[in-house]
Amino acid sequence: MNRQAQAAVLFLLGAALLHAGFTDLYLRYVKAGLQPLLLLSGAVLIAAALATVWYEWRGRARPAPADGPDDGHGTREGNDDHGHGHVHREPRVAWLLALPLLALILVAPPALGSYSAMRTGTALQQPYGYNRLPASNPLPLTVVDYATRAVYDHGRSIGGREVEVTGFVALDQAGHPYLVRMALNCCAADAQPVKIALTGTIPPVLQPDKWLQVTGTYTARQTKDPVNGRPIPYLRVTASKPVPTPKDPYDESWNN
């Protein structure tokens, strides 16, 4: 890979990062809070590409050095390699820079869904505290918020209130339904599921990976995740309706 090819790959990779950062595409890879860093990375790569081109152009525009003294054999010593200009090349391994570019251009992975969720144990964690809840009815909660309040707060802050939770549907091997959201620490590579088991008025037909908005009430009933044995709370469903896949399919509330 010569300098021109290296600059072209850096420029295209930076442009791809900026495109992902200015659209919703980046949400397939990293959490929303990392958007500024992603945009900064794209700008730095483009600046590095432009700097590479400028230094290469300046080196070519510089006047060639005068020939050296006669070496006694009818030739003159100089900086030319046997009359041929020396072209600086980077190691071939530099072509690996093209791999993330191809991944961004050719592959737009879907958000992780029920297949991953039911093969990974619930990642429910006890929070340091709980935010004050609004007085709205029904009360909108994330999957993580409902699950943590149901398990670790024993429903004290949500008991007797109607809640509204949105997630995608997952079914275990016995066909029992769960409402799931994949929670992020940093990026999709470390996404882990948080699950709510459903009981009550459940739709007769449920398709895995379809998004559902569920209205219901807290119940003290719990089960254990067969993968890691951690608790999964139940939600007693009173109503439900299908909803489109949200712009940001991951849940970041367990880090907030």
Angle between helices 3-22 and 98-106 (to 10 degrees): 40
Together in a domain, 123 and 206: yes
Together in a domain, 123 and 101: no
Assign 3-class secondary structure to the chain: CEHHHHHHHHHHHHHHHHHHHHCHHHHHCECHHHHHHHHHHHHHHHHHHHHHHHHHHHHHHCCCCCCCCECCCCCECCCCECCECCCCECCHHHHHHHHHHHHHHHCCCCCCCHHHHCCCCCCCCCCCCCCCCCCCCCEEECHHHHHHHHHCCCCCCCCCCEEEEEEEEEECCCCCEEEEEEECCCEHHHCEEEEEEEEECCCCCCCCCCEEEEEEEEEEEEEECCCCCCEEEEEEEEEEEECCCCCCCCECHHHC
Handedness of CA 150, 153, 156, 162 (dihedral sign): negative
Using CA atoms, how far apart are residues 168 and 194, in angstroms rounded to an integer? Answer: 11
Together in a domain, 215 and 165: yes
For position 81, what pLDDT does the model report?
Answer: 46
Cα 187 vs. chain centroid, distance in angstroms?
4
Together in a domain, 39 and 133: no
For position 78, what pLDDT does the model report?
Answer: 45
Together in a domain, 156 and 34: no
Together in a domain, 233 and 181: yes
Q: What is the CA radius of gyration of the chain?
A: 28
Question: Last residue of some domain: 84, 106, 128?
Answer: 106
Using CA atoms, how far apart are residues 246 and 255, in angstroms rounded to an integer? Answer: 19
The pLDDT tens digits along the chain (256 residues) read 566 777 777 777 777 777 676 777 666 666 666 667 777 877 888 788 788 777 777 767 666 555 555 555 544 444 444 444 455 555 666 666 666 666 666 565 656 778 888 888 998 888 888 888 988 889 999 999 999 999 999 999 998 899 999 999 999 988 899 999 988 776 666 778 999 999 999 988 889 999 999 999 999 999 999 899 999 999 999 999 999 988 777 765 555 4
| CB of 196 closer than 8 Å to CB of 232 | yes
User: What's the start-to-end Cα distance of the chain, in Å?
Assistant: 44
Output the pTM of the full model. 0.64
Together in a domain, 82 and 141: no
Question: Last residue of some domain: 81, 106, 131?
Answer: 106
Together in a domain, 173 and 76: no
Using CA atoms, how far apart are residues 28 and 216, in angstroms rounded to an integer? Answer: 30
Together in a domain, 80 and 186: no
Cis peptide before 138 (omega within 30 of 0): yes
Q: The tokens of 196 are what?
A: 């709510």
For position 109, what pLDDT does the model report?
Answer: 60
Question: Last residue of some domain: 51, 85, 106?
Answer: 106
* Domain at 173, CATH number: 2.40.50
For position 64, what pLDDT does the model report?
Answer: 56
- Residue 183: CB atoms within 10 A of its CB come to 25
Number of domains in the chain: 2
Domain that holds residue 71: 3-106
For position 83, what pLDDT does the model report?
Answer: 45
Together in a domain, 137 and 251: yes
Together in a domain, 214 and 122: yes
Together in a domain, 65 and 149: no
